[in-house]
Amino acid sequence: MLPVLGMLFDGVAYGMLLFLMSVGLSVTLGMMNFVNLAHCSFAMLGGYVTVTLMNDAGWPFFATLPIAFVAVAAASVVLERVFFRRFYHAGELPQCLLTIGIVFVSIAAAAYIYGTDQQPVQLPDYLQGSLHLMGLDFAVYRLVLIAIALAITVLLVVTVEATRFGAKVRAAVNNQRMARGLGIDVDTLFAVTFALGSGLAGLGGALAIAMLGLDPSFALTYLIYVLIVVAVGGLGSIAGSFAAAMLLGVVDMAGKYYIPAFGSILIYVVMLAMIMARPAGLFGRR
Amino acid sequence: MTTQTISGPHAVLQAQARWRTAEIAFWLATLLPFVLAPDYLVLASQVAIAALFVLSLDLILGFSGIISLGHAAYFGVGAYTAGLISVHGWGEPLSGLVIAGTASGILGYVTSFIIARFRHLALIMITLGLGLLLQEAANAASWLTGGFDGLQGIHTWPLFGRIDFDLYGYTAYSYALAVLFVVFVAARRIIHSPFGLALRGIRENGARMPAIGAPTHSHIRTIYTIAAVIAGLAGALLSQTTATVSLEALGFQRSADVLVMLILGGAGRLYGGLIGAVVYMVARDQFSGLNPQFWYFWIGLLLIGVVMFLPNGILGGLAFAAERLKSAARKRPPVSAP
């Protein structure tokens, strides 16, 4: 198998995970300018929901995914109503501090309940092994992962581009005050969008266990990647997030394949260069 | 010093710059550990170092409104510079301090050109990214930094060629406190200068300052470089007094810790960071039996509580309470508002 293609395949699968975990943050940041550093804690929560249901309740893997989505969406709405909505007009610093606080609490809570070890997860047999196509090996789980992520992306794009709800979201991202002036209930819209975005993060976290592992540091480790996707992709842009997630997935994978000694240096350099060249992101307008 | 009586902004600044009784009492109180708690001088030296680091962040975040999630980068560069020159045969503390401060100052000056151009989310990402980049670089360059094991074999020579660093932290605390005081006086002078006033203007309205003719970018570059030097000094003090440097000196956790201390004490107040450092470090020492994982649970709760209920920190809360008491005393009958 050509090593370059294998690397690209892994990078794309990884990028899909990053996209699922970050697209919600991108949209909510674009709409409310709320810097939610706890977004990856939602992803981690999704991961732990799946692990608990599979290992303690014996649920099949695919059945746990919708539960992860719903549970995380519900938890995020509670947090949004109790904490976040008080800080929409407070500036970035209080927002950062509040959400860093939530990250710390979530990490400690996860460590208290589940311990600091990697969580074991036993995928069903039909998701293990690999497929031989045209002389190349494709891990089945990663193919499924890419398929699920692509399906969700299509669903998202259709929702945002072709439904009334999507039109309201686009209006609110573009110009929140104008949208309010036209009678759109931006607060409710935001709460719903926030829940959907967090739910997607939870789903991403659940899907990520088999590829990235799950331990309490997940909330902080992948937060950086999610922020990179959002900042490089541009706020509120689904296409931008998708492109940035693919780019980050492939570049990070390439770094790990070819220059492992440099660890993550490569992606940080790429990120800094991208932000300096285009502060509004790849597809950003602001 | 000339004592001129100029009315207008100069008079205001001069009135602000006058030393108050409470300040003198505060600095006298910093000498108390020598008498009251000689067993805790090592902790006291750690507090003084943390306070110096917080002061550095206060200058950029509290007074100039530049958010940084990667301030540990400059602390770490100072710590590694001081450690490295000691490992390579020059353990003289004062010159080591100067060299370390210069090194972090150079990094601060170079990066300040980037910092000055950005605000909001881009700035948060850039400071975070620079911090992480530096930590990864230090990890990759393990031939120089010792990687995960930290730097081995730091030996700090006696202060002034005479006073040894003892096990009880007597010298360490005196040394760290002296550096803290000198830097504090300098920072105080900066804040109460017209330049300091301009910085507060940038914090309050970064778009309007250029309109009244203030060179915003060059002001930000200057204060950012100064803050980087101070952070480097704090890092150098840490590696000199503890004789160890590890990657943790550069980590995100340290950047977050220093933010917590500043917010806890009260950002944008000279003493806010110092009070925050004392409270945070003493609390951490009291809970040192606790697994660090769970310590961060309480830190997280504390952060949430502070931003929700005490947005200006301990000092801000105290000032608010004092203000309320005063106005209540002035107006009778006393106000019964919540």
**pLDDT value of residue A24:** 86
Higher pLDDT, A34 or B98: B98
pTM: predicted TM-score of the whole model, two decimal places = 0.86
Q: How far is B232 from chain A (nearest CA, A)?
A: 23
CA B14/CA B5 separation, integer angstroms: 10
Q: CB–CB of A98 and B137 under 8 A?
A: no
Domain that holds residue A123: 20-220
Chain A neighbours among B 204-223 (CB < 8 Å)? none
**pLDDT value of residue B99:** 93
**pLDDT value of residue A47:** 93
- Residue A107 located in a structural domain: yes
Q: CB–CB of A108 and B122 under 8 A?
A: no
CA A256/CA A252 separation, integer angstroms: 6
**In contact, B224 and B116? CB cutoff 8 Å:** yes
**Residue B332 pLDDT grade (very low, low, confident, very high; cuts 50, 70, 90):** low
Residues of B in contact with A272 (CB under 8 A): 126, 129-130, 133
Q: CB–CB of A276 and B126 under 8 A?
A: yes
**Residue B5 pLDDT grade (very low, low, confident, very high; cuts 50, 70, 90):** low
**Minimal Cβ distance to A111: which of B260, B293, B311:** B293
Q: Tokens 């309050």 correspond to what residue?
A: B204
**Residue B337 pLDDT grade (very low, low, confident, very high; cuts 50, 70, 90):** very low
**A33, A34, A93: best mutation site toward chain B, by most B Cβ within 10 Å?**
A93
- Residue A172 located in a structural domain: yes
- Residue A212 located in a structural domain: yes
Q: CB–CB of A97 and B303 under 8 A?
A: yes
Number of domains in chain A: 1
Whether the predicted pLDDT of B285 surpasses 80: yes
**Minimal Cβ distance to B307: which of A98, A269, A279:** A98
**pLDDT value of residue B243:** 81
Q: What is the mean pLDDT of residues B276-293?
A: 82
Closest CA to A217 of A114, A121, A111: A111
- Report CA Rg, chain A: 19
* Torsion angles phi and psi, residue A141, rounded to 5: -60, -40
Q: What percent of chain A has pLDDT over 70?
A: 97
Whether the predicted pLDDT of A144 surpasses 80: yes
Whether the predicted pLDDT of B2 surpasses 70: no
CA B244/CA B76 separation, integer angstroms: 12
Closest CA to A128 of A10, A210, A58: A210
Burial class (CB in 10 A: 0-12, 13-18, 19+), B114: middle
**pLDDT value of residue A3:** 73
Q: CB–CB of B133 and A265 under 8 A?
A: yes
- Residue A114 located in a structural domain: yes
CA dihedral A157, A158, A159, A164 (to 10 degrees): 120
Helix (H) / strand (E) containing A63? helix A61-82
**Residue A19 pLDDT grade (very low, low, confident, very high; cuts 50, 70, 90):** very high
**Residue A286 pLDDT grade (very low, low, confident, very high; cuts 50, 70, 90):** very low
- Residue A258 located in a structural domain: no
Q: CB–CB of B136 and A265 under 8 A?
A: yes
**Residue A131 pLDDT grade (very low, low, confident, very high; cuts 50, 70, 90):** confident
- Residue A15 located in a structural domain: no
For the record, the structure tokens of B244 come out as 């160890």
User: pLDDT tens across B39-73, in order?
Assistant: 888 888 999 999 999 999 999 998 988 889 889 99
Whether the predicted pLDDT of B4 surpasses 60: no
Closest CA to A23 of A269, A264, A283: A283
Sketch the domain layout of chain B as residue ranges: 39-252
User: pLDDT tens across B186-215, in order?
Assistant: 999 999 988 988 899 888 888 888 888 888
DSSP string, A114-176: H-SSPPP----GGGSSEEEETTEEEEHHHHHHHHHHHHHHHHHHHHHHHSHHHHHHHHHHH-H
For the record, the structure tokens of B181 come out as 């005081």
CA B47/CA B177 separation, integer angstroms: 9
Q: CB–CB of B259 and A100 under 8 A?
A: yes
- Residue A238 located in a structural domain: no
Amino acid at A106: S
Whether the predicted pLDDT of B338 surpasses 50: no
Q: CB–CB of A227 and B294 under 8 A?
A: no
Q: What is the mean pLDDT of residues A186-202?
A: 90
**pLDDT value of residue B60:** 92
**In contact, A17 and A212? CB cutoff 8 Å:** yes
For the record, the structure tokens of B81 come out as 């510079």
Whether B137 and chain A come into contact, CB under 8 Å, resolves to yes
**pLDDT value of residue B222:** 94
User: pLDDT tens across B143-177, in order?
Assistant: 787 777 777 877 777 777 777 777 777 888 889 99
- Residue A121 located in a structural domain: yes
Q: CB–CB of A279 and B302 under 8 A?
A: no
Helix (H, G, I), strand (E, B) or coil at A111: helix
Residues of B in contact with A108 (CB under 8 A): 293-294, 296-297, 300
